[in-house]
């Protein structure tokens, strides 16, 4: 027999998996999804921006950490910059601001991207806000590519009490 109640509030940490292919090209093109791997690839010479909206957040959630997953190929320079952003509507415009930037990945050699960033100040999702990760991918030199797989978001959620 199950207990049905709305009088117990439970807090929990959970890790949301956000596939990179849920995102879209930002103001600067470069990322391509035309593959069967569910990934986003930035070819050599790109300086593209990719916007990955964070699904499955609920007002009141607290974001603690974000982790970028992917891979780079080629042994020349690349600069991969990631920032957790939020935007809010105002009269005539939508204002986006950086919540926290990750340390840029500038490793020249081919490697797996596994970039974990704890927020200095955990960010509580407020009414009217939406969150996204802005990925700015600069690849230079022959044979250099960068591929994004997913972003993992560590969130503190509260379940159980009806609002």
Looking from the CA of 102 toward its CB, the CA atoms found within 13 Å total 25
- Distance from C-alpha of 110 to C-alpha of 135, rounded to nearest angstrom: 18
Q: Which residues touch 18 (CB under 8 Å, ≥6 apart)?
A: 52, 54, 55, 56, 133, 150, 151, 152, 153
> Minimum distance from CB of 124 to other proteins (Å)?
16
Q: Is 20 helix (H, G, I), strand (E, B) or coil?
A: helix
State which residue, 20 or 85, has the beta carbon closest to other proteins. Answer: 20
Interaction of residue 29 with other proteins, rule CB under 8 A: no
Kindly write out the interface string for residues 34-53 of this chain, putting x where it contacts other proteins by CB under 8 A and - elsewhere.
xxxxxx--------------
Residues facing residue 25 across a β-bridge: 50
Kindly write out the interface string for residues 131-160 of this chain, putting x where it contacts other proteins by CB under 8 A and - elsewhere.
----------------x-xx-x---xx-xx
- Distance from C-alpha of 18 to C-alpha of 153, rounded to nearest angstrom: 8
The answer to whether the beta carbons of residues 47 and 31 sit under 8 Å apart is no
The residue from 43, 51, 64, 71 that contacts other proteins (CB under 8 A) is 71
> Minimum distance from CB of 35 to other proteins (Å)?
5
Interaction of residue 116 with other proteins, rule CB under 8 A: no
Interaction of residue 108 with other proteins, rule CB under 8 A: no
Q: Which residues bind other proteins (CB under 8 A)?
A: 6-22, 33-39, 55-56, 69-73, 110-114, 147, 149-150, 152, 156-157, 159-161
């Amino acid at each position: 027999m199950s207990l049905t109640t709305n009088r117990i509030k439970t807090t929990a940490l959970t890790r949301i998996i956000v596939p990179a292919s849920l995102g879209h090209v930002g103001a600067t093109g470069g990322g391509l999804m035309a593959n069967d791997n569910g990934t986003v690839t930035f070819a050599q010479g790109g300086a593209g921006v990719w916007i990955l909206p964070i699904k499955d957040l609920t007002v009141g959630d607290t974001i603690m950490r974000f982790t970028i997953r992917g891979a780079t190929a080629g042994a020349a320079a690349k600069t991969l910059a990631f920032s957790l952003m939020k935007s809010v509507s105002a009269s005539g415009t939508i204002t986006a601001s950086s919540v926290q930037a990750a340390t840029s990945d500038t490793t020249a050699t081919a490697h797996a991207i596994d970039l974990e960033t704890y927020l200095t100040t955990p960010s509580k999702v407020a009414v009217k806000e939406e969150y996204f990760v802005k990925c700015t991918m600069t690849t230079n030199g022959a044979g250099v590519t960068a591929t994004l797989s997913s972003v993992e978001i560590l969130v503190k959620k509260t379940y159980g009490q009806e609002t």
